[in-house]
Every structure is written in C-alpha cells, then in structure tokens.
Amino acid sequence: MFDGAQVKPSPTIKLLGVIFDQGLCWKEHVQQAIKRATKTAIALSGLRYLRPEQMRQLYQAYVTPIVDYALTVWHNPL
C-alpha cells in the first residue's frame, strides 16, 4: 500500500538501461537491444556512397555500443 493505493509488483524493472526480470533471464533486455541495433543498422544502410572502411567505422561507433551496453551483466558465457 502506498498513500492508500495498492501497488502491484511489476514483472520487470529498468535500472540504468538494463531490464531486469524476476528470473534474471535478460530476454526482454536482449530483445530490446537487438531491436534498437537493427533499427540503427537499417538507418546506416541508407548511406549508399560510403567506402567500406567508413561504413565499418559508423557501425562500430553506433551499432556495437547498443549491443554491448551492460554486456557483463546480462551475458552468460557458459
């Protein structure tokens, strides 16, 4: 109860950009990261007249950090 209103628990919580769920499965966080990275990669693909080195640099600057954010928290190498 909070100020007379009942507060129901949420199945997920977002903290510092990482989505935690009750089982710590990270499924929703990974799906959101993939969705954002795909959207960014599609936007970059519209830049047609760039050299491959330039496209790689843009990819590493914009797409890779989206996927890598908080990787040490949600990635389980085992």
Single out the residue of 50, 45, 48, 51 nearest to residue 63, CA to CA.
45
Q: How confident is the model at residue 73 (pLDDT cuts 50, 70, 90)?
A: confident
Phi/psi at 2 (5° precision): -140, 115
pTM listed for this prediction:
0.73
Residue 19, Ramachandran bin (φ over 0: left; ψ between -120 and 50: alpha; else beta): beta
- For the segment 18-69, what is each residue's pLDDT rounded down to a tens digit? 888 888 888 888 899 899 999 999 999 888 888 999 999 999 999 999 888 8
Query: Where exactly are the structural domains of the chain?
Result: 12-74
- Give CA–CA dist 12/42, Å, rounded: 28
Q: Look up residue 63 and give its two tokens.
A: 């797409």
